[in-house]
Structure formats: structure tokens, C-alpha cells
Amino acid sequence: IQLTQSPSSLSASVGDRVTITCRASQDINSFLAWYQQNPGKAPKLLIYAASTLQSGVPSRFSGSGSGTDFTLTISSLQPEDFATYYCQQVNSYPRTFGQGTKVEIK
């Protein structure tokens, strides 16, 4: 299953609302996760089952969607949110990831 994220990169300011989309090449129900990765670090799980916030993750992060189209939203961008974000499907093997969306400071 191929996952395509858009955009591949974006520039935004602190306080902005940011939306990242992930499209799957076939129906994956709600078996989608979102990760945040900082340079040189391991990915961090933000959202699982498309819309469930992982424990300890700030509530400004939210996820939505099912089937083939999914969205990650950051309601008010904070300085620590500048990172690369990946979607991942766990509906079937092999598990696959999107190409990533780099969120940069405007």
C-alpha cells in the first residue's frame, strides 16, 4: 500500500494552523498512525487509529479520516513542532510510510 503525503514541505509561523494530508492507494480503514521526527532522533508516535491522541501528546495535534484519506492538524504551531511528520499504515504487510512532510519556520 502506497502512502502519499502532501505537501512535502511547508513554511509556517508560530501560532499558525497547519494541515497535512495522507492518501492511501487502497482502503486501510482507520489503520493509520502519525509520527513526528526531529533530526537525528527516532520517530515519536502522535496519533494512532487515525484519530486517537497518544498519551502525553499535546491536544493541539489531531487526526481525522478513514478509508483512503487522512489529515493531521496542528491547531496552533509551537516552536517545538518544527519537524518532519510521517503517516504510516498498519492495515497490512508490509507496513509502509509516507514520504514525510517537513514543517519549517517561516
Partner 1 sequence: QVQLVQTGAEVKKPGASVKVSCKASGFTFSNYGVHWVRQAPGERLEWMGWINADNGNTKESQKFQDRLILTKDTSASTVYMELRSLRSEDTAVYFCAMTFWFDPWGQGTLVTVSS
Write out the residues near partner 1 by the rule CB under 8 A. 33, 35, 41-45, 48-49, 54, 86, 88, 90, 93-100
CB closer to partner 1, 15 vs 93: 93
> Which residues, other chains included, contact 1 with Cβ-Cβ below 8 Å and sequence gap of 6+?
24, 25, 26, 28, 89, 91, 92, 96
Least distance from partner 1 to the Cβ atom of residue 77, Å: 23
User: By C-beta, is 82 or 97 nearer to partner 1?
Assistant: 97
Of 71 and 99, which has the nearer Cβ to partner 1?
A: 99
Strand runs (DSSP E) across 1-106, as ranges? 3-6, 9-12, 18-24, 32-37, 44-48, 52-53, 61-66, 69-74, 84-89, 96-97, 101-105
> Per the structure block, which three cell numbers stand in for 52?
486517537
The 3-state DSSP class for residue 41 equals: coil
In angstroms, give the least distance from the CB of 73 to partner 1. Answer: 19
Give the shortest CB-25-to-partner 1 separation in angstroms.
15
**Closest approach of partner 1 to the CB of residue 13, in Å:** 26
